[in-house]
Amino acid sequence: MAWRRFNYHDRQCLDRAAKENNPAMLLPWKFFKEVPGFGELYGGYYTQDEIRDVIQYAAVRGIDVIPEIDMPGHNGSACWCYRWLSCTQDGREPLCLGRNSTIEFAEKVYDEVFQLFPYEYVSIGGDEVNRRRWSECSECKKRIESEGLKDVSELQAWFTKKMEKYFNAHGRRILGWDEILEGGLSKTATVHWWRGDHPDVTQKSTSMGNEVVLCPFTYLYFDYAQDDNTLRHIYDGDIVPVDLTAEQLKLIKGMQGNIWCERIPTEARLEWMVFPRALALAEKAWTPRNKQNWDDFLPRLKAHLQRLEAMGIQYRPLQTKRP
């Protein structure tokens, strides 16, 4: 479903644009389209050629664009358009894991992703699944019984492992948010630690031999609101857990800043949210912890802000109030 009427987030953006007289919060006209029978809708999508273009553009700059196609939850648009995908067939996620047709659908979607994206890693997402629907579905209950699973958590793990085998057979490795730990995980999966309120995720994953990417929402969610203290909070944070052995530390793949754009309608707004937080993240990720020093960082940061200025990037100033 590429086009839609305004949702709650869109209305919030428009309210803020008006209230703050802030054009960075206005939904751009280029994302509106007149759809016969529906009126004016908001949205858009990439064609396969455009995806190839993005990959090419990134490649010459040394960047991999790792795709995430979230399953079995966070796919409301697919469930809305293909009603047979969900347990209740009423357009509400998640995918029904009791039906083989759903598994085939997932494989076909990933086939297309594998064809477009040339990288080793592909993310299955796997986060925030409403598993309660599975416990109310006769077909999912049948699957739990026939596969000898304990509960709905194990049903998701069954699906993730099945997809992982499919990924591996196509020469790919699976990535997923830390919920994929629940119900059991195979060693070759890489975990994104995002739930900052689950501090044991990295310890647990690496002790089982799984690789981890650090992106806890307590520090590295760049769509979260920021104030004059946010940058220092990120810089001084212990993002790498201190209780890991040398072997476990080797399994940490790196850090990642996350940003979700439900309430970021323009590039100007994106720049404001990302910079200068990305500069603090870069130093945290590339500098040994004992060499990280805020007072030392500050003058180098200010030099970078001048570069951002010259590039026309609309970063958030270090202080938004007059001293």
Can you read off the two tokens belonging to residue 166? 């499919």
Dihedral-angle region of residue 137 (phi above 0 means left; psi in -120 to 50 means alpha; beta otherwise): beta
| Residue 139 contacts Zn ion per CB under 5 A | yes
Nearer to Zn ion, 95 or 185 (CB): 95
| Residue 105 contacts Zn ion per CB under 5 A | no
Least distance from Zn ion to the Cβ atom of residue 139, Å: 5
- How many C-beta neighbours within 10 Å does residue 49 have? 8
**Is 89:102 a contact under the CB 8 Å cutoff?**
no
Pick the closest to residue 113 from 156, 183, 154, 66 (CA basis).
66
3-state secondary structure of 132: helix
* Nearest-5° Cα angle at 148, 147 to 152: 85
Least distance from Zn ion to the Cβ atom of residue 83, Å: 13
Residues 252-311 that bind Zn ion (CB under 5 A): none
Helices (H) and strands (E) in the chain, counts: 14, 8
Binding window for Zn ion (CB under 5 A); candidates: 34-42, 59-67, 139-147, 222-230: 139-147
Least distance from Zn ion to the Cβ atom of residue 128, Å: 17
Least distance from Zn ion to the Cβ atom of residue 104, Å: 15
Q: Which of 13, 137, 213, 255 binds Zn ion (CB under 5 A)?
A: 137
Nearer to Zn ion, 140 or 251 (CB): 140
Please name the residue that has the structure tokens 């790196």: 254
Separation of alpha carbons 313 and 24, rounded Å: 13
Least distance from Zn ion to the Cβ atom of residue 87, Å: 3
| Residue 155 contacts Zn ion per CB under 5 A | no
Binding mask 64-93 for Zn ion (x = CB under 5 A): -----------------------x------
Q: Which residues bind Zn ion (CB under 5 A)?
A: 87, 96, 98, 137, 139-140
